[in-house]
Homo-oligomer: A and B are copies of this chain.
Amino acid sequence: MTKIRLKVIPLGGLSEIGKNMMVMEYEDDIIVIDAGLMFPEESMLGIDLVIPDISYLLEKKRKIKGIIITHGHEDHIGALPYLLPQLNVPVYSTRLTQGLISVKLKERKALAGAELKVVPPGGQVTLGKFRVEFFPVCHSIPDSVGLIIHTPAGIVVHSGDFKLDHTPVDGKPTDLSRLAQLGAQEVLLLLSDSTYAELPGYTPSEKLVGEALDHIMADAPGRVIVTTFASLISRIQQVIDTAAKHQRRVFVVGRSMSDTTRMALELGYLKDPDKVLGRLDELHGLPRNRIAFVTTGSQGEPTSALVRIANRDHRQLHILRGDTVVLSASAIPGNESLINRTVDSLFKQGAQVLYDKVAPVHVHGHGGQEELKLLLNLVKPKFFMPIHGEYRHLSIHAGLAESVGIPRDSTFVLEDGDVLELNPQSAKVTGKISAGNVYVDGLSVGDIGSVVLRNRRMLSRDGMVVVIIAVNQQTGKLIGRPDIVSRGFVDTRESKDMLEESRDLVVRTLDRSGKRPTEWDFISTKVRDTLNKFYYEQTRRRPMILPFMVKV
């Protein structure tokens, strides 16, 4: 009997939220699940976005049979424009997801040559030794799927991002009966979404938001401006439906919201049976309580329509007293202060503002603790790996698994790069491959390393001082006084004397050192230390100090 060995390797999505990517490898076949990006943390100064390190995949490029995408959110598709040109394999997804991937690839000029294949929810595809079945799950974007992956070692279930909304707005609840069938067979491994593992209970249904919107559209004395994620198509549908019910026309504002709405209408994911959607030029003459807007800006993005409106900086739209603004979204971690500032500005403009803290105007797309336990109980996996979460989410999810009877040592709380090897009887971590953050900053991918970031951090704190020392090449003598250029350190006018004094200090340091400019390393260290000490004494600040010698 040959040894059956399935490897499951997270390349992203564990310990850090975002840049989701899971690798499954069996003999000469590899499939990749999701290829997401992460938005940079505060400490990643100047970085545009973060994608997974795929050096492992590049080494085994010829084995890769395809990339499977569970749904169309950035943290599942966003790395494709950067990775696809390097890997050059087919991408499998549902139809809406494919549409969103095309848009993304086009934006980044990576669409040419991409092989995008549609698999419907409930459909399947065979990739080498893997047979992958797509099952519908309910999430905050239509056409989301989880995966049932039939492998020679056993069945692996990947939940995708999911919640168990029994009354979803787009009519497609998570397929619990298919999962229950699987539970009756043997499932080797479950990979399940941990994003909201901290939250007790159930995530409320999307219908709840519909009820809140219904009251708002009915009662608001003036216009209603709803902002949400462009991809949250079911939410846009609810705005259209409740607006229609209360005789309001709906106007879409903002480029990405317009693009997505148009695409969703064309593909049939969004419906406007009462023809309430209008063009902005039809606005004229409508009474205010017959008007609703849908717009981007739910994360306080500085260039979004809502933020421009809040700052009276939008060409067509500004707040009128009596307007009601609904932020139908929650904050992606890190965006809180931008969002708060936007809400404050809207209040200052005289709007009534409703947001998730003060009214039930948003539900998120991930299951809470009871839903996670239900999935575990239905699927009854032999082994369990919590995915999609920070370490605390994974740990708490592991605790939930234990509470429903999965032994603690059958659960694997891993970090990105850990290699889990399974056969039908056992599972263990057998190694670790390189898996980390690859930074995208401007045009280049991966050139920003820890040195550049450390420098940016240092510069951001106390600024910098460049010391320019001109030296006669022949004599080794100093020419004139050293020059000092500083930025971000002190107010150069107020601190003129202090800066002048530091120039003199450099002169004295150079004199005293008695070294020739050939010993530049020594001199520059000396100058740096002396100024560091002096500036710290004077200001309690530590600017970056860069001595530079010009030999003439």
- Grouping DSSP codes into helix (H, G, I), strand (E, B) and loop, the A interface class, with mixed when no group exceeds half, is mixed
Are A548 and B459 in contact, with the CB atoms below 8 A?
Answer: no
B357, A550: Cβ atoms under 8 Å? Answer: no
Report the bound CA distance from A489 to B485 in whole Å. 18
Give CA–CA (A506, B357) in the complex, Å.
55
Q: Of B334, B448, B463, B550, which is within 8 A of A550 by CB? A: B550
Asked if A286 is at the interface (CB within 8 A of a chain B CB), the reply is: no
**In the bound complex, CA of A455 to CA of B464 (Å):** 10
A57 to B: closest C-beta gap in Å: 22
Residues of B within 8 A of A462 (CB): 46, 441-442, 456
CA distance A46 to B462 in the complex (A): 6
The reply to whether B460 and A457 form a contact with Cβ atoms under 8 Å apart is yes
Contacts of A452 in B (CB 8 A): 463, 488-491
Query: Residue on B with the closest CB to A543?
Result: B46
A538 at the interface (CB under 8 A from B): yes
Contacts of A177 in B (CB 8 A): none
Q: Which of A162-219 contact B (CB under 8 A)?
A: 198-200
- Which partner residue on chain B sits nearest A444 by CB separation? B539
Contact (Cβ within 8 A) A340 B390: yes
Which partner residue on chain B sits nearest A353 by CB separation? B392
Q: Is residue A521 contacting chain B, with contact meaning CB distance below 8 A?
A: no
Q: CB within 8 Å of B: which residues of A? A: 15, 41-42, 45-46, 198-200, 333-334, 336-337, 340, 343-345, 347-348, 353, 357-358, 390-392, 395-396, 441-444, 447-449, 451-453, 455-464, 466, 468, 470, 479-480, 483, 485, 487-491, 494-495, 538-541, 544, 546, 548, 550, 552
**List of 6 A-B pairs having minimum Cβ-Cβ separation, nearest first:** A442-B540, A460-B460, A455-B488, A459-B459, A344-B391, A456-B488
19 A-B pairs besides A456-B459, A466-B548 with CB distance below 8 A are A42-B42, A45-B461, A45-B488, A46-B461, A334-B337, A344-B392, A442-B462, A442-B541, A443-B539, A447-B495, A456-B462, A456-B488, A459-B459, A459-B464, A459-B487, A466-B546, A479-B552, A485-B546, A487-B544
